[in-house]
Structure 1
Amino acid sequence: MITVSPELLATMRMLPRLLAIAAVSAAFVLPAARFVSKAEAIKKSDAGATPLSPTQKLLQPVQLAAAVGLLVELPCYACGRPALGWRLSTEYFAFFAVVTLPRSYRFGKYSERAAEPAKGAGGGEFGQFLLSVWAAHWLGAWRGARGWINSRELFALRIAGTLIGASAAWTLGRAYDRVVTPESLVTTGPYRVVRHPIYTAYLFLFAGGLASLGSPLAIAVLLLSAWRFYKPRMASEDKILEEQFGDAWRNYAAKTPSRLLPPFV
């Protein structure tokens, strides 16, 4: 007689619900991935960015909350861990609220698509990375530890990611999150310590979150996806800066590491 463990039975009962929720979620996540991928090829026009309307400013936090809900709360709720999803989504919302919203409020909409987007990790690669991060959070919610891993070190890692991201975004200003030729070489703020601090911030946030869910497999998926996406993107950004600023960039690069924790961030 074959004996089936209670854990396996619970997983089998949950599987149809997980598949249904994943299918519905994909209807939202895939269009979002395509939309964000298009934004990767955008750069500001000569006329400058278009300010957000009052309605758009009000909708920004709502859209952010919906995105964080799809990324964190939905997997945790579907896997029977709603309290953990609420806790982690609160931290994620705080991160994006201080890293991305100020940029939108300061400089408005992204402007027209560049005629020749920079080479490197393009829109398709970004969409794949976004879906990989989403899948990693499903793995973390499904296969992770049954309780929240309280760790001051992991919490400090996520706080550090938030502070680094906010400082880098504010320092870059309008040029935040663009693989385009900037108007000046930025070497202040967190850029004095590492050449790509925004990527470091994202990895600190997501890796710290998945570690608190207790899933080594989810962390492995995240790190592999980050390496695959960030490596060509950082090389592309470095090439653009070197072509634009020459010796000034080479002197800066000689004394400033590309990553804090090679080979990932």
Structure 2
Amino acid sequence: METTSVLLHSKTIPFSFTISHNNSRKLSLRHSNKQFQSRLSNNNFLFGQSLKPIKNQAELPFSLYQSTSSLKITRTHLLSPPKCSHSGSASTDGSQNHPFLKPFKNLSLDELKATLLQLTPIDIIKWSGILSIAIAATKWTVNLVLNPFFWMYFSWTWLFWPWFVAILLAVYGLYCFYKHSIGEASIFEQFAIVTSVFTWLTLVPPAHFNGYLQGWPFVFFFVYHYFFFFNVSVRKRLYGDYYARPHDPKWDLHPPRWSRLLFCVGVMVGHWLAALEGPELHLIPGGWSNVGIWILILATLLMQYNSTFYLAKYSEKVVVPIAVVQFGPYRWVRHPIYSSTMLLFATYFLALRAPLSLLFVVAVCLMYYAQKAKMEEDLMIETFGEKYLEYMGKVRYKFIPLVY
């Protein structure tokens, strides 16, 4: 076989390249900076030529040598040649060291078959359920993202208060409530309980029926917080912290558990009915038509704060009364704290323009607070006797002046 050796020299991209044709195939890349060499391997005859860089690009030195044993092409290379190796089997070192492929390194069909045979019917049902939920969640997410109506009606409410945040807050609130029931909840966890409840009372129902939030729901979300934290703020004012003091447990009066549960459910249902009954939020008028709502809000907050403060002033450790309170709001009704709570709910429903829901929640509050007020009055009569009976004769109304 006749072998041809071609010597090429380039000024711009010099490199060295050698190809040999023998009984064994050989491929090599070799660095050469100054000269090209052509060697005849059979008779050890060497032809050499030293080439100089070409100054004129038009000039192209070309040499052709013929041999019967080998063909070599040599060009200078400015950079170090890459290291190449050729073997009969593909290298798998990179794949074996890949972190994602390590679990499948020793995986075989027999091991997979043995693992599948070990699955019990319960395991199959469990993994099938997990796979079904994952597929359903993925399908729902894709449909939601690709739905043009979702983006058309997407509002700032989704950015500041998306649904999944409300759900996560509810779950965390239930966890904090469990810790509170066993006496291990911190101040932050107690605050999380209140925030999660008020979220699902004032924010979630209007957002569900309107698709967005604006106006009164945001206002009452903060008003509810301010209203129900007057009790701990009074503790902070009197004692310098927010914690309740140890006291006689007989003053911890609570109606039966079923009654408290029905009250909580009734209040929640009343707020959802108000969001359903009222007009869309953007149809609720603003401006001077809401002056009465703001007056009721201020009256509610003042009534709650004065009632709590007078009760704490004439009580030991805020809870245990040391005298019959007859000042402030106690001059008009015997249980002004409960009255202010009902007034707060009524103001919220009036703001949403939901009168039927207002009547429903007032009825729920009257039934619950009447039961609780009866328990408190019996204990006050037992403690103060004629003094409290005289007070009951002077202030005949429990919750609503001139009505009830």
Q: What is the TM-score with the length of structure 1 in the denominator?
A: 0.69
The change in CA–CA distance for 1:139 and 1:61 in structure 2 (over 3 A counts) is same
2:275 to 131, 141, 153: 141
Instruction: Please report how far the alpha carbon of residue 252 of structure 1 lies from its aligned counterpart in structure 2 after TM superposition.
Output: 1.0
Instruction: Please report how far the alpha carbon of residue 181 of structure 1 lies from its aligned counterpart in structure 2 after TM superposition.
Output: 5.9
Query: 1:124 and 2:258 equivalent?
Result: yes
- Cα distance in 1, alignment partners of residues 195 and 170 from structure 2: 17
- Cα distance in 2, alignment partners of residues 193 and 262 from structure 1: 6
| Greater C-alpha radius of gyration | 2
Instruction: Please report how far the alpha carbon of residue 242 of structure 1 lies from its aligned counterpart in structure 2 after TM superposition.
Output: 1.1
Question: Per the alignment, in what secondary structure is the counterpart of residue 230 of structure 1?
Answer: helix
Q: What does residue 224 of structure 2 align with? A: 92
- Cα distance in 2, alignment partners of residues 264 and 62 from structure 1: 37
Check whether the contact 1:226–1:264 (CA below 8 A) recurs between aligned residues.
no
- Cα distance in 2, alignment partners of residues 61 and 116 from structure 1: 26
Q: What does residue 356 of structure 2 align with? A: 217
- Cα distance in 2, alignment partners of residues 122 and 258 from structure 1: 24
Letter in 1 for 2:208: A
Structure 1 or 2: larger strand share? 2
Query: 1:109 and 2:240 equivalent?
Result: no
- Cα distance in 1, alignment partners of residues 336 and 192 from structure 2: 27
The change in CA–CA distance for 1:115 and 1:164 in structure 2 (over 3 A counts) is closer
Query: 1:237 and 2:368 equivalent?
Result: no
Check whether the contact 1:242–1:249 (CA below 8 A) recurs between aligned residues.
yes
Query: 1:227 and 2:359 equivalent?
Result: no
The change in CA–CA distance for 1:213 and 1:29 in structure 2 (over 3 A counts) is farther
Letter in 1 for 2:264: L
Give the alignment's Cα RMSD to 1 decimal. Answer: 3.8
Structure 1 or 2: larger helix share? 1
The change in CA–CA distance for 1:184 and 1:225 in structure 2 (over 3 A counts) is same
The change in CA–CA distance for 1:193 and 1:187 in structure 2 (over 3 A counts) is same
Letter in 2 for 1:155: W
1:78 to 208, 211, 221: 208
- Cα distance in 1, alignment partners of residues 169 and 402 from structure 2: 32
Check whether the contact 2:270–2:357 (CA below 8 A) recurs between aligned residues.
yes
Letter in 1 for 2:284: W
- Cα distance in 1, alignment partners of residues 375 and 273 from structure 2: 31
- Describe the superposition over 1:125-144 as per-residue Cα deviations: whole angstroms up to 9, x where unpaired: 22321221122111111221
Q: Compare relative contact order (CA 8 Å, sep 6+) and give the higher one, 1 or 2.
A: 1
Instruction: Please report how far the alpha carbon of residue 111 of structure 1 lies from its aligned counterpart in structure 2 after TM superposition.
Output: 5.7
Please show how residues 1-265 of structure 1 align to structure 2 within 5 Å: 56=187, 64-80=194-210, 81-84=212-215, 85-97=217-229, 99-105=230-236, 106=238, 108-110=242-244, 121-146=255-280, 147-148=283-284, 150-173=289-312, 182-261=321-400
The change in CA–CA distance for 1:229 and 1:112 in structure 2 (over 3 A counts) is same
Q: Give identity over the alignment, percent.
A: 21
Letter in 1 for 2:266: S
Structure 2 gap segments, 5+ residues each: 1-162
The change in CA–CA distance for 1:34 and 1:217 in structure 2 (over 3 A counts) is farther
- Describe the superposition over 1:155-200 as per-residue Cα deviations: whole angstroms up to 9, x where unpaired: 3222211111111111122869x9x863322222221221100011
Check whether the contact 1:33–1:131 (CA below 8 A) recurs between aligned residues.
no
The change in CA–CA distance for 1:247 and 1:233 in structure 2 (over 3 A counts) is same
Letter in 1 for 2:227: F
Letter in 2 for 1:95: F
The change in CA–CA distance for 1:169 and 1:158 in structure 2 (over 3 A counts) is same
Q: What is the TM-score with the length of structure 2 in the denominator?
A: 0.47
Structure 1 gap segments, 5+ residues each: 1-19, 43-51
Letter in 1 for 2:243: K
